Amino acid sequence: MATKKKQVARELLFGDLWEFDPAPETAPAGIADRYGLFIGGEFVAPKSKKWFDSISPRDEAKLSEIALAGQADVDAAYAAAAKAFPAWSKLPRAERGKYLYRLARLLQDRAREFAVAETLDGGKPIREARDFDVPMAAAHFFYHAGWADKLEYAAPGRDLRALGVVGQVIPWNFPLLMLAWKLAPALALGNTVVLKPAETTSITALKFAELIRVAGLPPGVVNIVTGAGETGAAVVRHKTAAKIAFTGSTGVGKWIQRELAGTGKRLTLELGGKGANIVFEDAAIDQAVEGIINGIFFNQGHVCCAGSRLLVQESIEAVVLRKLKLRMKSLRTGDPLDKNTDIGAINSKQQWERITELVDVGASEGAEIHQPACELPKKGFYFPPTLLSGVTQSHRVVKEEIFGPVLSILTFRTPDEAVEKANNTAYGLSAGVWTDKGSKYLAVASQIKAGVVWGNSFNKFDPTSPFGGFKESGFGREGGRQGLLEYGELD
């Protein structure tokens, strides 16, 4: 897609980029022409009789036709989940664990196919889908399979019971991984589920439904309804739901919280972020530069915990900026199916427009824009890696979540100023601290109001480690023992 013709001051970073031969991933994605709703263990046509197209952000080609679930379909999904709940929740725990192990292994067996499907559907580089999304999704099922028959150790001396039917709504940035974060703990504890994937990325969830059938999960334990916001709202409001788990934007999260107030339903919200990545002058600079690049350009910056606000100690600003620009020149933006690609396609036209608009706003507010001079594919939604300097705390690009490959750079002089600036945000999901001194890391990290604070690293994930936010980034945790407890009632 061509960049808007708005006049903004841009510095194009030219450099000697080695030319790589194309290295396309050619494995088949196994995507069906049409997907019904997955209810009661079967793919069924929607009662709404409505369907929508799923297109690939890579080249705007149609991938499949997806059912649009209406209220009657959501009712049917909840009815199936409620019917399945008594037997599933009473199943011996080790038996439930076996199903989870089976799902993890089936996903591993078809890892390559799932990675290609995820890349085509969402636009992320195949390298990331292959090496991160799919293995991490399997790891979450393995981890929770291990918990299923050891629940007495999750809450020693207490009895941990399933809640009932759980409604789950997930976003488009890590479609399969977010499904795994939600399904695995819910099922390990004996809950049954109605899950709604994001409308631009339903395909791997529906392919996962195929694995659920192969694994022989009892019908109705997992139900998948597809559609957009209205379908999500029907899932959230449904009277059968004992708990709602939502990952998505802060705006929708606030609406859900208002909607659920007084209903007695349990709620966890994993929302947006504007993570600070703090680099002190005593840090290993080259290592920090790699961490900054990974922190913002991983998954095109469609990462809730992205390090989108870079805070650099003033004394090293010039050297960090120089090294960052140099490193950005070597990033390859383009066909996500190419194994050499670092930055793939923006997930949707709508998201591309939002990123473009916010970068233009930054420019009109006086930001300097640095972008590598790269040729972007003519079809599909692509945005080059972008660095904004000359910005302050009051710039919109510094305050708002852009959810794209756009980094703002700010400076600080003292650790106290770094902490104050890092916390000067409505969000509280993530941060990074780069320093040679362990004591400085601990002192700074303990003052930052964020669910995760990485030390000399960024974007590190593990199923054993709880993840979640403070302030407008939401509440509740996913992963680890804490995430498991969110799906149970303690007696």
What residue ranges bind ligand NAD (CB under 6 A)?
169-173, 196, 198-199, 228-229, 232-233, 236, 247-249, 252, 255, 270-273, 304, 401, 403, 429, 469, 473-474
Smallest distance from ligand NAD to CB 260, Å = 11
Cβ atoms 434, 291 nearer than 8 A = yes
Residue number with CB closer to ligand NAD (173 or 192): 173
Smallest distance from ligand NAD to CB 404, Å = 11
Smallest distance from ligand NAD to CB 258, Å = 11
Residues in the chain: 491
Cβ atoms 430, 273 nearer than 8 A = yes
Q: Using the CB atoms, write b or e for 135-152: b if 16+ within 10 Å.
A: ebbbbbbbbbbebbbebe
Residue nearest to ligand NAD (CB): 232
Helix axes 285-297, 317-329, angle to 10 degrees: 60
Helix axes 203-215, 111-122, angle to 10 degrees: 160
Amino acid (1-letter code) at residue 67: A
Q: Which of 118, 270, 317, 486 is catalytic?
A: 270
Three-state secondary structure of 269-314: EECCCCCEEEECCCCCHHHHHHHHHHHHHHHHHCCCCCCCEEEEEH
As a whole number of angstroms, the distance between CA 123 and CA 140 comes to 23
Smallest distance from ligand NAD to CB 91, Å = 29
Amino acid (1-letter code) at residue 308: S
Q: Which of 128, 304, 305, 472 is catalytic?
A: 304
Cβ atoms 56, 29 nearer than 8 A = no
Smallest distance from ligand NAD to CB 169, Å = 5
How is the beta sheet containing 430-434 ordered, strand by strand? 10-13, 368-372, 386-389, 406-412, 309-313, 276-279, 430-434, 452-455
Residue number with CB closer to ligand NAD (59 or 259): 259
Amino acid (1-letter code) at residue 301: G
Rg for the chain, CA atoms, rounded: 22
270 is catalytic: yes
Smallest distance from ligand NAD to CB 278, Å = 20
Cβ atoms 225, 235 nearer than 8 A = yes
User: 123 in helix, strand or coil?
Assistant: coil
Q: What is the dihedral of CA 41, 42, 45, 51, to 10 degrees?
A: 70
Residue number with CB closer to ligand NAD (13 or 198): 198
Residue number with CB closer to ligand NAD (249 or 447): 249
Residue number with CB closer to ligand NAD (248 or 372): 248
Distances in Å between the alpha carbon of 401 and those of 157, 158, 261, 272, 404? 43, 40, 26, 7, 9
- Return the number of other C-beta atoms located less than 10 Å from residue 408's C-beta: 25
Under DSSP, the state recorded for 353 is H
Smallest distance from ligand NAD to CB 197, Å = 6
Residue number with CB closer to ligand NAD (246 or 280): 246
Residue number with CB closer to ligand NAD (190 or 468): 468
Smallest distance from ligand NAD to CB 52, Å = 12
Dihedral pair phi/psi, residue 55, rounded to 5°: -110, 155
374 is catalytic: no
Amino acid (1-letter code) at residue 246: F
Smallest distance from ligand NAD to CB 121, Å = 14
Residue number with CB closer to ligand NAD (273 or 380): 273
Residues labelled as active-site residues:
270, 304
